[in-house]
Structures are given as structure tokens and as C-alpha cells.
Structure 1
Amino acid sequence: MLALLLLSVVVAVGLGPASVAPGDTARYLWAAVTGGRIGADETTTYQIVWQIRTPRVLLAALVGAGLSAVGVAVQALVRNALADPFVLGVSSGASVGAVGVTVTGGLAAFGVHAVSAGAFAGALAASVLVYAAASTRGVLSPLRLVLTGVALSLGFQALMSVIVYTAPDGEATSTVLYWTMGSFGAASWGALPLVAVVVLLGLVVLHRYGRALDVLALGDETAASLGVAPDRQRRALLLVVSLMTGVMVAVSGAIAFVGLVMPHLVRMAVGAAHARVLAVAPLAGAVFMVWVDLGARTLAAPRELPLGVLTALVGVPVFIALMRRRSYLFGGR
């Protein structure tokens, strides 16, 4: 999977309105990393490869990996096969933040990153509200967590609809609606380090929680009998997944399907042990998102398709076909 991911990145960086051969793409990337030289007549192509496409493809890989890993964790956290990174209301809160900034022109000090900053603030606010509403005397039950997340998500969506409906600027409204369907169009080298640090550290932390997730998936009573404090583990995991989701939604918008279905596809291949699933799911999600983003920017060029549309159109039929071909139950086979 790692080799496939590296190959996918090189191919995706080279393809576009101005296609670059894989060999030349690899040479440009190597020159950029090592400080090598290129010909004067190749400067324009080099700038396209390194300054425009590479940060976008790397961001797609990071977001795909993060969404897949968070999906694995959330499904075990709330013991629900239909859970995804956005079931806790984080995505809807981020959307409200992005809409508010776009319509009102707030957070102007952040410049071109104002929408991302608003989305991240909204995501964190949503996470705090979900935790405060779902927690009772320090107990955070899976059912209350899901119900609270779904209820607040619907509330945030209603608030976002009101803001969009009353917005005087139609162009801002179109921008917001496009953002809520997912896009890596604003990717840049400046936005990449924070996402990379949060996602990669989050992947390491979630992998260390692999055994705890195995136990949590069996139920709180079983977890307690095995020496695992379910509420404490759930609070820590909620913090990690909320931070990861907030950062990813802030730079890419709301991308559906990946965090819901990728964990199930990986479980079909490697089994239900979370240590194995969390090792494979990020790589599978990264490869999938790199190719989805490539399709989004090339299939209808020069227009760009929303990522959420492609993830659903491609992923749903594949997932249904795999489900029908082999017996599969959440958490096992």
C-alpha cells in the first residue's frame, strides 16, 4: 500500500491540463527536495509540478489518511457501524464557521486563510458543545454521544441554511456551498505543515489506542472487566478525533463517504483487529483520495468537480458490490 501510495502521488502530480511524464515528475520532485538543478526551459513546468500540484496531492493524501483512521476510531468509540468522522457534529460546526466568515467577512486578519480559520473555530466549538451536552457526571456513553452529535449536527445545518438564505452576496453563497461538498483547490505549502503535524501525530496516537478500541467495541462492561476505563478512554479519543477532523475540514471542506466506508473495506481485507486496521486504513484512504482528487480536477476540466460527489459516485457502488460478494459483519466476517 505504501508503494502504491508513492506511485499514485507521482502520477497524480504529473497529470492535469498540462501533463508531465512520470519520469520528469519524479526528476522535478527530486530536484525540489535535494536542491538540484533544472533547465531554464523547464521552469514553468517545474513551478506547476512543485508549487501547484504537489501540495494539493499531498494534502489529499493526508486528508484521506486522516478521515479513514478517524472513521475507524469513531465507529469503535460509539459502537455504531454507520458512524463516520462527521457524526459528532464537527463537520456541521465547521460549516457554520466557514459560512459565517464568508458572509460577514470576519477574521480578515487571517487573509486567504480566513475561511479555514473560521471552519476550525466552528469545529472546535461544536466538539465542546457535543462533549458538554453528552457528558453526565463525567460519564460519556456511546448512545448519548451519537444522539447528541446528530441533534447538534442538524441544528448547525439549520443555522447554516439560515445564514446562506439571508446572505446578500450570491457569489459568497456559491463559494460556501461548493466548500461544503469538499475541495482541495485552496491547497498551498503554507497550509500543509499544520495539517501534516496534526494528522500524522493523530495517526500515531490512534494506533497506540488499538487495543483499547478492540475492548471498547465489545461494550463498556466488558471493557471495565478487562481493566480499561471506558469513559476516560472515550474522552481522550474524542479529543483526538475532534482535533483531527477540525483541521481536515478546515482545509478541505466536508468530504463524505471516506470515513464511513473505508474502515469497512479494510476490515474485509485484514480482519477486525484495530491495530491492523489502523495500519492499513490510512494508506488505503490516502490512495483513494489522491485518485478522487485527480478525477475531480481532470474529468470536467477546466471546471472542478466537488470531491464529495465523486467519493459517493465511485465508492458506494464498489462498497455494495463487495458487501454482496462476501459475508461481512461490523467487527468481523
Structure 2
Amino acid sequence: MEHRRLVLAAAAFTLASVLFLTLGARGNWSFALMFRAERLLALAVVGTAVAWSTIAFQTVTGNRILTPSIMGFDALYLLIQTMLVAALGGLGAATLGALPRFGIETGLMIGAALVLFAVLLRRGADLTLLVLTGIVFGILFRSLAGLVNRLIDPSEFAIVQGAAFARFTTVDDRLLWIGTAATALAAALLWRRRDRLDVVALGRETAIGLGIDHDREARRLLALVAVLVSVSTALVGPVVFFGLLVSAITHGIAGTWRHATVLPLSGLVSATILVGGQTLFERVLAFETSVSVVIEGLGGLVFLFLIFRRSAR
């Protein structure tokens, strides 16, 4: 039954990919397919990174209404964009280059996450304190970004605003291959720990009783989560509720809690939503609205639904 669900999800992703590659294509097909294939790869990479990082983060924290964005990754990304514009000016930030910008963004986000995880977990703090600390840092980063935004030129503020929303239509091809390699490496390491994720999902005391060093395993898993979130955010921008939407759909149709099924299923669901949504809004609706806004809106509704359902129990 689990394999059947994976096959159906793979078929849905294949159908969405074929429509994305062929629908509305005119002129030189080889050029059109090559151009769209790069964008398809970008959507698949971002979808997989968001889905796997969310599933792993929820497993470690033992809470299905949390996402890595709650740790302040999106706020840190916006603060980095704001500080770059404030320090270099609008023209300087625009001419910085895609590779240096990508390196700065991913390096700072991964570094900040690793420092936070290492300091708190090494001192024996529980995951609840870790999450609360992440929320506080997120509020701090947003406040600092808002302060700097009031000090910069209005034209430069428009550049910062452009980075506040996910951009699924424009991904630099040089960054795409770097992001793909980093995502593949982190996903491979996470896949190797799929059985340990099953044990961690049972809770700290149970995991320790079964011979798992829970705190060390949590640090390793959160480090992989930090890499996946940082790469996806640097590639397309912040996505706050998309992972929650994917997680809710995946757990609703998986029929199991085993990560050997949940991880690949979540990646297929996430990629299908992104590719199918982009096809709909780009080919059918002609960019009348943004797929990122719609997806984030649906994710927000799912978040409220989960909150109300939990409080009603």
C-alpha cells in the first residue's frame, strides 16, 4: 500500500512535469525544453529541500505544526538582504554577483543555525527552549530589518521588498547547480538516517532506551535541516508556510509514520505542488497572480486549522 502511494505520487509529479515542459511551447523546442528543464530542476530541488527539512524538523521537535521557518530563517534572510543594500547601496548590491551573494546568504544562515543549535543543545536545553529562542531571534531580526529599512533610500527599499517574497520564476543557473549539489548531499545524509528518524520520533526517553544518543542525533539532524533550509531560501527566497502545507498533505496520505515512505512522498508532493502551481499560473493564468502568494496563503490556512484542531481536543 505504501509503495502504491509512492507510485501514484511519482505519476502525479511526472504528469505535472510533462505539462510544465510542453504546455504552450512554441518555436525552437530544443531551446524551450532546455530552458524549462532548468526551471523544473529548480522547482524540484526547492520542493525537496523544503519538504525534507520540514519533516525532519517536526520529527526532532515532536510537533507537526512547527516548521524550520519558525526558527527565524526567513527573518535572517531578509535582514541579510537589508544589510547588503544598506552597506553597498542598491547598485552595489545588484552588481555584487550571484555567487558571492549566494555564498554570503547560505554561509550566514547555516553558521547562525549551527551556533544556535550547538550552544543550546550542548548545555542540555530542551527543544522547547530551542524553538522559543529561534522565535525570539526571528522577532529580533525582523525588528532590525525594519529599522534599517526606515533609514535607507526608498528606491533601495524597493529592492529589499523584492527579496521578501519567494521567486520561483528566476533562478540563476550557476546557483542552481551549486544548490542542487548541496541539497543532494544533505538529502543523502538525511536518507541514511531515516531509521534513526523513526526512533527519534518515538520521543527522547524512548530513543535513549533504544540505544540512540538523542541529543547528538538531534544536533546532526538539525544541522542537515539548516543546510536544506538555507540553500532553498538563498535560491528562491523565504517560504514560511509551504513546508507546513506539504507536511500536512503528506501525513494525511502516507498511511504510515516510517520515514522511508514519508520522506520521498513529501518530496514528490512538494515538487508536484510547485510544478503544477507554476504551470497553472504561468501557462493558464498568464501570471495574473503569484504561485508563492497562493501557496503561502494555503499554508497559513492549514496552520490555523491545525492550531484550532489541537486546541479543540
Q: Per the shorter chain, which TM-score range?
A: 0.7 to 0.9
Task: Indicate the percent of aligned positions where both proteins have the same amino acid.
Answer: 23
1:57 offset after TM fit, Å? 2.3
Cα displacement (A) at 1:302: 5.7
SS of aligned partner of 1:68: helix
1:228 correspondence with 2:227:
no
Q: How big is the shift at 1:68?
A: 0.8
Task: Judge which range, 182-191 or 272-281, deviates more.
Answer: 182-191
Q: Provide the secondary structure at the position in 1 that maps to 2:173.
A: coil
> For residue 36 of structure 1, what is the aligned residue in structure 2?
none
2:274 maps to what in 1? 289
Query: Is 1:165 paired with 2:170?
Result: no
Deviation readout 1:72-129 (Å, 9 max, x if unpaired): 0000111122211212222222222222223333678851445433322331243134
- Is the aligned partner of 1:211 residue 2:195? yes
1:71 to 54, 57, 78: 54
Contact 2:74 2:240 in 1 (8 A): no
SS in 2 for 1:254: coil
Check 1:255–1:109 CA distance in 2 against 1; reply closer, same or farther (3 A cut). same
**Matched letter for residue 94 of structure 1:** Y
> 1:94 pairs with 65, 69, 77, which one?
77
Asked if the contact 1:298/1:304 (under 8 Å) is kept, the reply is no
Structure 1 CA distance for aligned equivalents of residues 257 and 287 of structure 2: 42
Provide the aligned length of Structure 1 versus Structure 2. Answer: 296
Pick which of 283-292 and 224-233 moved more.
Answer: 283-292
**CA positional deviation for 1:148:** 1.3
Query: What's the secondary structure of 2:63's corresponding residue?
Result: coil
Work out the CA distance in 2 between the residues paired with 1:140 and 1:242. 19
Residue 8 of structure 1: aligned partner: 16
Give yes or no for contact 1:96–1:122 (8 Å, CA) kept in 2: no
Contact 1:77 1:216 in 2 (8 A): yes
User: Does 2:20 correspond to 1:20?
Assistant: no
Distance 2:202 2:223 in 1: 21
Residue 159 of structure 2 corresponds to 175
Are the counterparts in 2 of residues 89 and 127 from structure 1 also a CA contact under 8 Å?
no
Larger RCO, structure (CA 8 Å, separation 6 or more):
2
Q: CA deviation at 1:287?
A: 0.6
Q: Report the 3-state secondary structure (helix = DSSP H, G, I; strand = E; otherwise coil) of the residue aligned with 1:190.
A: helix
After superposition, the C-alpha distances for 1:282-304 in whole angstroms (9 at most, x for unaligned) are: 11111111123334545764676
Change in 2 beyond 3 A, CA 1:61/1:109: same
User: What is the rounded CA distance, in whole Å, between the counterparts of 1:220 and 1:234 in structure 2?
Assistant: 10
Structure-1-length-normalised TM-score: 0.79
1:305 aligns with 2:290: yes
Counterpart check, 1:197 vs 2:204:
no
1:138-196 CA distance string (max 9 Å, x none): x352112111111111111111111222111x333223223222112331321211111
Q: Measure how far apart 1:320 and its partner are.
A: 8.1
SS in 1 for 2:273: helix
Q: Which structure dedicates a bigger proportion of its chain to helix?
A: 2
Secondary structure of the 1:86 match is helix
TM-score, structure 2 length as denominator? 0.83
Q: 1:229 to 1:79 in 2, by over 3 A?
A: same
- Classify the secondary structure of the residue corresponding to 1:227: coil
Show the counterpart of 2:258. 273
Task: Return the alpha-carbon distance in structure 2 between the equivalents of residues 146 and 174 of structure 1.
Answer: 31
Q: State the partner residue of 2:104.
A: 118
1:318–1:158 CA distance, 2 compared to 1 (3 A): closer
Q: Which runs of 5+ in 1 are unaligned?
A: 22-41
Q: Which moved more, 1:100-109 or 1:225-234?
A: 100-109
- Which stretch shows the higher mean deviation, 180-189 or 159-168? 180-189
Verify the 8 A CA contact 2:61 2:127 in the aligned structure 1.
Answer: yes
8 Å contact from structure 2 (residues 82, 145) kept in 1 = yes
Amino acid at match of 1:20: A
How is 1:232-271 mapped onto 2 (pairs within 5 angstroms)? 232-270=216-254, 271=256
> Gaps (5+ residues) in structure 2?
1-8
